[in-house]
Amino acid sequence: MKIPFRTRILLRWIKKRRGFHNKKPPALAFRRNGEGLSRILIIFPENENAGRTANFFLKTLINNKTVDIVVMGKEPFIYADKMMEKVIVKRYSEQDFNWFGGLRKAAQERLFDQQFDAILDLNPQFNLQSALLTVYSQIALRVSFKSEHSYNFYNIEIDHKPESFLELGYNYFQKLLGL
């Protein structure tokens, strides 16, 4: 995916101003049964096939009672079904981003009104908008699948080959977080 020139300008400005990575991230502990993490933000994929698989992944996480889960998806968010009654659902749209591709201040306050321990981007391919959401979230632990540009946005990248099953990648997410 080629990042538009205007968005590259925004990314350079963010890198100089704040940096993509926190200078001294808070200490996080990974323990059995997810005791080290209390609240996770999950960005759902826009692709329908990947979304269905991510939905099954989310159902396994909901059974873990020690972690609060907040799910974020792009409008229209088709997977906000009855299962989502157990989690908080936040939606974003094209109007939440400015001309440069940055997140508007009002959307930032609406989407990141809570503290999170980790953010998981479940998009199997690089998605610029979800990557920018991780930058604006300022969450210390950012996890995604490895892609061409992911090293700029995430501090943990999970290797995933397109020919392998997506479920295996989601299992790596689960094992990494100890859930």
Q: Looking at the domain assignment, is residue 14 inside a domain? A: no
Which phi and psi (to 5°) does residue 149 adopt? -110, 0
Output the furthest CA–CA distance in the chain (Å, rounded): 44
Q: Looking at the domain assignment, is residue 84 inside a domain? A: yes
pLDDT of residue 14: 72
Q: Looking at the domain assignment, is residue 61 inside a domain? A: yes
Q: Looking at the domain assignment, is residue 30 inside a domain? A: no
Give the DSSP per-residue string, 88-117: EEEEE-GGGB-TTSPBPHHHHHHHT-S--S
Instruction: Report the distance separating Cα 71 and Cα 86, nearest Å.
Output: 10
Q: Looking at the domain assignment, is residue 94 inside a domain? A: yes
pLDDT of residue 107: 92
Is pLDDT at 27 greater than 60 in this prediction?
A: no
At 15-24, the pLDDT tens digits run: 776 555 444 4
Q: Looking at the domain assignment, is residue 62 inside a domain? A: yes
Q: Looking at the domain assignment, is residue 22 inside a domain? A: no
pLDDT of residue 158: 86
3-state secondary structure of 73: strand
Q: Distance between the two ends of the chain, CA-based, in angstroms? A: 32
pLDDT of residue 30: 56
Domain tally for the chain?
1
Q: Looking at the domain assignment, is residue 19 inside a domain? A: no
Please tell me the pTM assigned to this model. Answer: 0.79
At 85-102, the pLDDT tens digits run: 678 888 888 899 888 888
At 51-96, the pLDDT tens digits run: 878 887 887 777 766 677 888 888 767 665 555 667 888 888 889 9
At 122-139, the pLDDT tens digits run: 888 888 888 889 888 888
How many C-beta atoms lie closer than 10 Å to residue 96's C-beta?
A: 19
**Which CATH number characterizes residue 94's domain?**
3.40.50.2000
What is the domain extent for residue 120?
37-177
